[in-house]
Amino acid sequence: MLLALMLAPVAAGAASVEEQLNQLEEQRHQALVSGNWHDLAALHGDEFFYNSATGTSLTKKAFIGYMKSGAVRVKRATREPAAVRVHGNTAVVTGVERVEATVEGKDKTVSSRYLHVWANEAQGWRLVARQATYLTENR
C-alpha cells in the first residue's frame, strides 16, 4: 500500500498534495511502530538528512540502521494536525508529534516539534530532511 500511494499520480491542486503528504506522514509513524524498516526506508530519499533533537545528525543509512539495531522501539507515535506548505516539487511539513518508546531499555515519552522537507522525486514524494526540537516539557 505504501509504495502504491507513493507511486500514485498526484492530482491537480495543492489540497490533494497536502492530503497525500499527511497520509505519508501517518505511514511513517505506522512503519516506526510496526518496525517495518523496508517501508520506512522507502519513504526516505537517498539523500535524507536528520538533525535530531539531541544534536545528532544522521544520514538515511545511519537512521535506518539505528532503528534496525533495536536501540529504540517505538510503541506509539501520534501527531497533531500538521501545516503543509507546497512549493512546486518540494513541500515543508511542520507539526508536533508525541512518541512513546523504549530507548536503550528505558521507557520514554517525548514530544517534539518537527520540520520535514519532502521532495517529489521520480518514485513519488520522499522525505529528504527532518529537524526535531524537544518541547519544553521534555527537558
pLDDT string in tens for the chain (139-residue length): 444 444 444 444 555 999 999 999 999 999 999 999 999 999 999 999 999 999 999 999 999 999 999 999 999 999 999 999 999 999 999 999 999 999 999 999 999 999 999 999 999 999 999 999 999 765 4
The verdict on pTM exceeding 0.95 is no
Amino acid at 32: L
The SS3 of residue 27 is helix
Which residues, 6+ apart, have CB-to-CB distance to 5 below 8 Å?
20, 23, 24, 27, 124
* Sequence ranges of the domains in the chain: 2-138
With contact defined as beta carbons under 8 Å apart, do 95 and 113 qualify? Answer: yes
What is the C-alpha separation between 39 and 119, in angstroms, rounded? 17
With contact defined as beta carbons under 8 Å apart, do 112 and 81 qualify? Answer: no
Instruction: From the options 3.30.70.360, 3.40.50.970, 3.40.50.720, 3.10.450.50, give the CATH code of 2-138.
Output: 3.10.450.50
